[in-house]
Structure 1
Amino acid sequence: MTILVINNKGQYNHRIQRSLQYLKIPTELVPNTLSIEEIEAKNPIGLILGGGPSIEGAGNSEEYIKHFDIPILGICLGHQLIAKAYGGQIDTSNTESYAKVEINIVNDKNLFSGLAPKMEVWSSHKDEVKSIPDDFEILANSNLCDVESFKHTEKDVYGIQFHPEVHHTPKGSTIFENFYEICKKRCNND
């Protein structure tokens, strides 16, 4: 019943793991260089793709996205990798963001359950998803970013541009708890 946090070498990857541990969610931080077979051997119920400095340093993360049929949550770079893997467009943000931002939650089912209509989050990025892939829907936006969060319409694949693991996102733990519920529900239905 473990969620694997894929370390994409961002400054917050260890904090993601610690946040899950504080919530008593079974987790393991693993490098993004593991093979598909090594990930499969760990039998995770979900993957969290952490942030990182660039797509070029994301190791095998993009391969994991399309291979695994388990819930996946991409955070910051992980969000962008999901968009790229499914054919969305990523580009430099018009407004590089390193600040608290208020997002508008347009779909409060599953990942954002109990959080609508607005949420304060910590945004730290210079690239962003400019257009979502086919078969995805926007879950949240802000005045700085049109795609703060999205979800695949048929799969439990989610992306968020912001960082729920930092104290500047006061209700970030709810995002992790909701994702864990999605993972457990999926695991129990398989």
Structure 2
Amino acid sequence: MLLMVNNVSSYSNNLEECLNKLNTKYVVHKYDELDDCSISNYDGIILSGRTKSVKAMNVSNMNILKSAYKDDKPLLGICYGVEITVLTFSGSLQRLNNRIIGDNNITVKKESILTKRNTLNVFENHGYHIARLPEEFICIADSSSCKYEIIAHTKKHIFGTQFHPEMSIDGMEILRNFVGLTKN
């Protein structure tokens, strides 16, 4: 069973709709309803985006990420989810001068479990971007507006998308492939 961590994103319902279309067994818990022990009960984790910054949300998501890493659980961080992933593993973010909102084409630079395509049409809505990747992460895809659109851990099934696959034309492929990792 998959755990979807709801970080109070405006797109959480869309993410649930996608998981339903994929016939995925999942549960949704708000970020403040979880503790480290409960993570081990799931086959994989998705961290949703967020609408506002709350310190308790950051602490909870960092603990979830550390547990997923320790327990070798597949994890996908979406938008805020990738940003907190980067911070948890000692990377850095930078505030954008202008928020990025809307459809964007991204270029896939490295083959990944998440996609076999060369380009993806995605939907973005964020005010930060990744400035520096953590050491054990690589860039899978980039765009003219963001250097790191999809990232992946080099040894674990920990991934992140700066965009919202649940709102993207080509996003279902990414979600399908991630969900496939949790069924093994």
162 and 65 in structure 1: CA distance in 2 versus 1, 3 angstrom threshold: same
Instruction: Give the CA deviation at 1:57.
Output: 5.3
What is the DSSP-based 3-state SS (H/G/I as helix, E as strand, rest coil) of the residue aligned with 2:146? coil
| Cα distance, 1:108 vs structure 2 | 2.6
Task: Within 5 Å, give how 1:98-177 maps onto structure 2.
Answer: 98-113=101-116, 116-166=117-167, 169-177=168-176
Aligned length: 178
Distance across 2 between alignment mates of 1:153 and 1:94: 31
- How far 1:94 sits from its partner (Å)? 4.0
- Whichever residue aligns with residue 155 of structure 1, its letter is K
**What is the TM-score of this pair, normalised by structure 2?**
0.91
What stretches of structure 1 move > 3 A for 4+ residues in a row?
none
Q: CA RMSD in A?
A: 1.4
Q: Which amino acid aligns with 1:5?
A: M
Deviations 1:100-127, CA, capped at 9 Å, x for gaps: 10000012320113xx211110010001
**2:83 aligned to 80, 100, 111, which one?**
80
Distance change in 2, residues 1:58/1:9 (3 Å): same
TM-score by length of 1: 0.89
- Indicate how the Cα distance of structure 1 residues 61 and 152 shifts in structure 2: closer, same or farther if over 3 A, else same: same
What is the deviation of 1:39? Answer: 3.1
Partner-residue secondary structure (3-state), 2:165:
coil
Q: Counterpart in 1 of 2:21?
A: 22
How far did residue 55 of structure 1 move? 5.8
Q: Distance in 1 between matches of 2:35 and 2:174?
A: 28
Query: How far did residue 155 of structure 1 move?
Result: 0.5
Identity, in percent, stands at 27
The within-5 A match list for 1:27-42 is 27-33=26-32, 34-40=34-40
Contact kept? 1:105, 1:118, Cα under 8 Å: yes
Q: Which residue number corresponds to residue 48 of structure 1?
A: 46
| Counterpart amino acid of residue 31 in structure 1 | K
The aligned residue for residue 67 of structure 1 is 67
How far residue 160 of structure 1 moved from its aligned partner, in angstroms, is: 0.3
The C-alpha deviation readout for 1:138-167, integer Å capped at 9, x for no partner, is 00000000011100000100000001111x
Deviation at 1:9, TM superposition (A): 1.1
Task: State the AA in 1 paired with 2:152.
Answer: K
* Deviation of 1:56 (Å): 2.7
Q: Structure 1: how far apart are the matches of 2:182 and 2:131?
A: 28
Quote the offset at 1:129 in angstroms. 1.0
Q: Is the 8 A contact 1:45 1:184 kept in 2?
A: yes
Query: How far apart are the structure 1 equivalents of 2:101 and 2:56?
Result: 21
Unaligned runs of 5+ in 2: none
